[in-house]
Amino acid sequence: MLLADIKKGEMVVIKNVKPCAIKDKLMEMGCVPGTPVYLSLKAPLGDPLAFNIDGYYLSMRKAEAAQIEVEYIDTDGE
């Protein structure tokens, strides 16, 4: 599953950032494997998106969010 596809209220963790030109930038901003993330805001036209990355808000376009692979947190419920 990709970060670009998650819905509001879903809690996920980052599994992997695909190799791409912005991989380092995304990872420097805290998008590293194992980080819990949820969708916080959607801009009026559906893009960009703002995520809560382990406690702070990071906005990015859908194209950027599509570089990040995530999975649901299945421990202690959602």
Partner 1 sequence: MESRSAKIVALCGNPNCGKSSLFNDLTGLKQKISNIPGTTIEQKTGFFSVDGSAFELIDTPGTYSFHPKSKDEEVALELFNADHPKRPDVIAYVADAHNLKRNLFYFSQLADLQIPMVLVLNMIDVSEASGIEIDVARLQQELGIPVIKTNARQGIGVEELKQAIGGSDFVTHIQFGNKEDDDIAHRYQQLEALIGKVQTQKTKRQLFTERIDPIFTHPLWGYLIFLSFLLIIFQSVFWLAEYPMQAIEFGFDKLGTFLLEVMPANWFRSLIVNGIVAGLAGVVVFIPQIAILFFFMGLLEDTGYMARVSFIMDKILRGLGLSGKSIVPLISGVACAIPAIMATRNIENWKDRIITILVTPLMSCSARLPVYTLLISVAVPDTYLLGIFGLKGLVLLVMYVIGTVGSLVAALVFKWIIKQTRINYFIMELPIYHPPRWKNIGNQVIQKSRSFVTEAGKIILIVSVVLWFLASYGPNTQSDTVFSPIETTEIENSYAAKFGKTIEPVIKPLGFNWKIGIALITSFAAREVFVGTMSTIYSIEDENDLVNIREKMMTEKDPETGKPVYSLAVVMSLMIFYAFAMQCISTLAVVYKETKSLKWPLIQLAYMTGLAYVASFIVFQLMR
21 to 60, contacts with partner 1 by CB under 8 A?
21-22, 24-30, 32-35, 40-48, 50, 53-60
**17-23 long-range Cβ contacts below 8 angstroms, 24+ apart:** 17/67, 17/68, 17/69, 18/67, 18/68, 18/69, 20/67, 22/64, 22/67, 23/67
Q: How far is the CB of 11 from partner 1 (least distance, A)?
A: 13
Q: Using CB under 8 A, count the residues that bind partner 1.
A: 35
Interface with partner 1 (CB under 8 A): 20-22, 24-30, 32-35, 40-48, 50, 53-61, 63-64
